[in-house]
Amino acid sequence: MKTAVVTGGCGFLGSYLCAKLLDSSFRVLCIDNLITGDLQNIERISKNKNFEFINHDVSKYLEVEGEVDWILHFASPASPADYLKYPIQTLKVGALGTHNTLGLAKAKKSKYMLASTSEVYGDPLVNPQAEDYWGNVNPIGPRGVYDEAKRFAESLTMAYNRTHKIDTRIVRIFNTYGPRMRHNDGRAVPNFIVQALKGEDLTIYGDGTQTRSFCYVDDLIEGITMLMAADYNQPVNIGNPRELKILDLANIILDITKSQSKIKLLELPQDDPKVRRPDISKAKSMLNWQAKVSAEEGLKRTVEYFKQKIF
């Protein structure tokens, strides 16, 4: 039986990844310090004899006994609310956490995946964003703690690939949503759903014309596992290329929830990207992957989840 280490395994994406690996006959070591992760996310798999949870901060020295076949480094605050609350921890897990997990991959001769992000493109000057675009990032702005942590993590991952011949993967994840997101996550989908279900104003930052591309979690996890199995070390975008204005997203959620909530416009935060849309040509040609779940269907499933959590 192969062994996989998943850092950030109690997080939104990490918990899905742990379950997917267990279903694929892996022994899974889930490592999380629970800053933004939640033990409830792994409750359904916690009794599996091939699953183990380790409460540890991977920014500190990391040691694992026995053989390790795969390491998937997903530990990091990921929403603006989280990384603005934990700026130092975000930088440390991107730098020290990536260094420690790559060191473990070197020691164990493991295949390694870094969970990167569309935020490496910053507030992009091109649309859609392909992997060869270097980005437009403010390194000293408030969002820089996340953007630059991930950009450094990518550089370090490629350095270990070139210098130590570690078999690495880099997935650039675009806005992903679905059940298990926290209601106070701070991102648009959970914010709008919770506000709509409670009959509160839906708060949009800016005029709502800024765009995002929303990928349902099941599609993303499938893309990640396909990339892990591929023989390719350069970054790959995984996301849904359908581009939605934030105002349109709010109206779709209002329609699904049949809410009478109004829309309230607030000031746009500093360095908030105006556009976000992945060029997934590489994922389509190399992995034969593309998103299957429509925004309307994915949002319906997510609304049902939040109904059960709130009421």
H/E element, 222? helix 217-229
For residue 229, what are the contacts with CB-CB under 8 A and spacing of at least 6? none
Asked if 14 contacts 36 with a C-beta cutoff of 8 angstroms, the reply is no
Residues in the chain: 311
Asked if 232 contacts 169 with a C-beta cutoff of 8 angstroms, the reply is yes
With H, G, I as helix, E, B as strand and everything else as coil, classify residue 145: helix
Asked if 306 contacts 190 with a C-beta cutoff of 8 angstroms, the reply is yes
* Catalytic residue list: 146
Phi and psi torsions of 133, nearest 5°:
-85, 130
Q: How far apart are CA 58 and CA 43, in angstroms?
A: 22
Burial 25-34 (b: 16+ CB within 10 A, else e): ebbbbbbbbe
H/E element, 175? none
For residue 134, what are the contacts with CB-CB under 8 A and spacing of at least 6? none
Asked if 59 contacts 96 with a C-beta cutoff of 8 angstroms, the reply is yes
CA 209 to chain centre: 23
Query: Among candidates 76, 130, 155, which has minimal Cα distance to 280?
Result: 130
